[in-house]
Amino acid sequence: MILNHMVEFQAPHLDAVFHALSDPTRRAMLHRLTDGQRSVSELATPFNMSLAGASKHIKVLEGAGLVRRHVQGRTHMCQLEAARLAEAQEWLRTYERFWTSRLEDLEEILREEDRATAQAAGKLPEKPSTPENTSRRQK
């Protein structure tokens, strides 16, 4: 529970990171940066888009902390900054158990039966499942 809190709230970047990743142009840009630094115009060229448009995308990536920029003269060099990607992966790791093992399916089924019985036992409470009262079976 405490860990969940940490994952959910100790990473206040997730909104920005996931949003940045939701655009294919930006994902492609990140991917090109795995090969090394690229200037803004280098990053822009493969895309059928104005330089200003590409520049905006880069700013989104920068804002999400996925790219760092070093200005050298008139060219802005962009570099992949992976830390926030690690945070995103960490968030996803919480859900790994839902695809890694069929054992988890069984666990899930048991939980379901549990719920079903509880529901059959009586009326649903008025606030049936706030985070506070669903800790019945904590991890």
Partner DNA sequence: AATTTAGTCAACCATATGGTTGAATATTAT
Partner DNA sequence: ATAATATTCAACCATATGGTTGACTAAATT
List the one residue out of 68, 31, 62 whose CA is nearest residue 47.
Answer: 31
Backbone dihedral angles phi then psi of residue 11, each to the nearest 5 degrees:
-120, 80
Whether the CA torsion 84, 87, 92, 97 is positive or negative: it is positive
- Please state the closest distance from residue 60 (CB atom) to DNA, in A: 6
Q: CA-to-CA distance for 134 and 50, rounded, in angstroms?
A: 51
- Please state the closest distance from residue 71 (CB atom) to a second copy, in A: 16
Q: CA-to-CA distance for 112 and 134, rounded, in angstroms?
A: 13
3-state helix, strand, coil in the chain (%, to 5): 60, 10, 30
Residues 108-137 that bind a second copy (CB under 8 A): 108, 111-112, 114-115, 127-131, 134, 137
Residues 37-56 that bind DNA (CB under 7 A): 39-42, 48-53, 55-56
Residues that bind DNA (CB under 7 A): 19, 22-23, 25, 39-42, 48-53, 55-60, 69, 72-77, 124
Q: Which residues of this protein are in contact with a second copy, per CB under 8 A?
A: 4, 8, 14-16, 18-19, 21-24, 27-28, 30-32, 34-38, 42, 45-46, 80, 82-83, 85-86, 88-89, 91-96, 98-99, 108, 111-112, 114-115, 127-131, 134, 137
